[in-house]
Structures are given as structure tokens and as C-alpha cells.
Structure 1
Amino acid sequence: MLFMVIETFRNQDGKAVYRRLRDKGRMVPEGVTFVSSWVSADLGRCFQVMECDDVALLQRWVTAWSDLVAFEIVPVTAGKDTAAALAGEL
């Protein structure tokens, strides 16, 4: 399953987030796969796509970063898959 992870850097401190990323890596547990990410121009938020089948693993990852980041996690589906699922009803 895919998840859009919206991270808001606490205190607008993107440098602290990138410092930890440099020193410790993403710290994702086995079973969670990083797909891609984008960072807002003001360095205040990051948008990541993560993949995993066990939401508890995402929760473990969130815990490792919660001192620096506030998270919003949204399950998502590729637009083409949604179009295919709705094709019979359109």
C-alpha cells in the first residue's frame, strides 16, 4: 500500500531534519520502502511517498522522527488505478 506522508518540520527547522538524515539515514524499519520525496521551497515541509503493508511499521518510523517532525499520513492510490476501478461506472 502507498502512503503520502506530509511532514511539517517543527520550528521550521529543516536543517535539523537533514542533519539527522545525514547522520542516521531515514531510519525506516524493514518492511517500509521509501519511494520518493519533495520539499517545499521554504524548507518547512516534505512530501514523501512510502510503501508498506503494515501501518504499525509506519508508526514505528514516525516515532523515531516525532521530535523534529509532525506527520500527516494519507493512504493513496495511483490515479490510473482509480480510473480503472471506476471505468465501469463512468
Structure 2
Amino acid sequence: MSINDYAEDLESAARQALAEAKAIKVCPFHSDVTIRVGDDDAERHAYALATTILKRDGNMEMREELMEAIKDQLEMAADEECPQCAHLLDS
């Protein structure tokens, strides 16, 4: 992944870093649901991965925006389970 590929879309770059670090996953039954795995080490790895990519590509000026985008993606993700699947199991 090159950050230049995602320069126009920090949200996608953040999601990519989180997915590569295995900090998030997509529900296998609901492709529109992102699940936060709850692994602090994986989340730290995603931040480090994003920083490394920015350094390699010479785009460190984008660091703050990308770090904020990663934080936003983590906050928007469902915690550890798909709420739609959980709702179906509760029914």
C-alpha cells in the first residue's frame, strides 16, 4: 500500500492500515459492518504501519490527518461483534 494511492481518501488509507494490522475486520455476513477486534497491540501496529508508510512515501505532512482518520475508523467500528448478527442471535 502506498499512501499516494490513498492521498485523496484518508478514510480508505486508515481502513487499509487497520485491516493490514488486523485491528479491524468486516463481518462475514454483513459486508457493511466493520468490527473492532479489540487488540491494543494490533491498533498500535496500525498507527506504526501508517507512520512507516508515510515516511517511506515522503508524506509525513499528512501524519496528523491520517492518525485522526485511524482514530475515527476505530470509533465508528462495532466493538468485537457485529451488532446485526448479535441482534439476530437475540431474537
TM-score normalised to the size of structure 1?
0.36
TM-score normalised to the size of structure 2?
0.36
Greater share of helix residues, 1 or 2?
A: 2
